[in-house]
Structure 1
């Protein structure tokens, strides 16, 4: 009976030594996120980050991810942005665990480029300018001579027309005059 107890104790000691030897080396090289960040991070998916980033495109993705790691809630992060107007930047220790997110490439690749996104993101289709958009090539070529116009002449005088078609034509003409004046 004494030999069985000695064998069990010996096996337990060997298992303890093997576990201590294999886990002791890995622990200093890979710090836990809770120890680095100072709180236990919640599970955050890329969909959660994308949802908040689509609502608030001016907030960096790293700030959004850091706040979502703390709160775990898209709604609470959105409320924080609405109340404060910003999200605090993550501490430098955050970047040791989570590499920096590159905002411009994924944002422009994942969103379709329409007129609203083109004006807000600053990107525009190649070769597209106001002259070609409003088909003013002939008028721009004819008005290539430099002349200085008064501000009243640039936008034209806004007169309320009787029909919607006439008002639309008047607006188009004033836009064309303003574009040509800006080009000069």
Structure 2
């Protein structure tokens, strides 16, 4: 009699374990659970966590951020990973079966301007903001002629002794590259103007 009770208890335990395991792989609606699809038990992720990281790193897609947060559950760990690697890996295709793609936020709608010149103001400001004005090279552009290439544009950099000298050298090389590109653009525009002339 004792053996029969032991067998019945063992069968009941096995049935309960099988039910518990099979119920963990499906949600209440019959769909596979996120842990089954993703291959790990996802942590709780709030929209605030995603927004925090997205505000710090706007070039990282929201889906990549959410996927990493599902793994780590920690904003700091995900931020450190971005700082160390420079990117976050894209989620696998199975991720999109559980979490549909998030649409990229559109640019905020600007209020309609009654003055047509007011609407043209920001676009004019963007057009005027070029590399010459950004790096304050206006005085140097007037000093160079259209046909002349800046003399130091192709020169190899020399490793300077101090950080200040290296920074100044880098700024000068940047300026030379911008001026050289401007000279090439002006020369190309001059050739096109000659070719289009009567």
TM-score range (shorter-chain normalised) is: 0.3 to 0.5
- TM (norm. structure 2) is 0.44
- TM (norm. structure 1) is 0.47
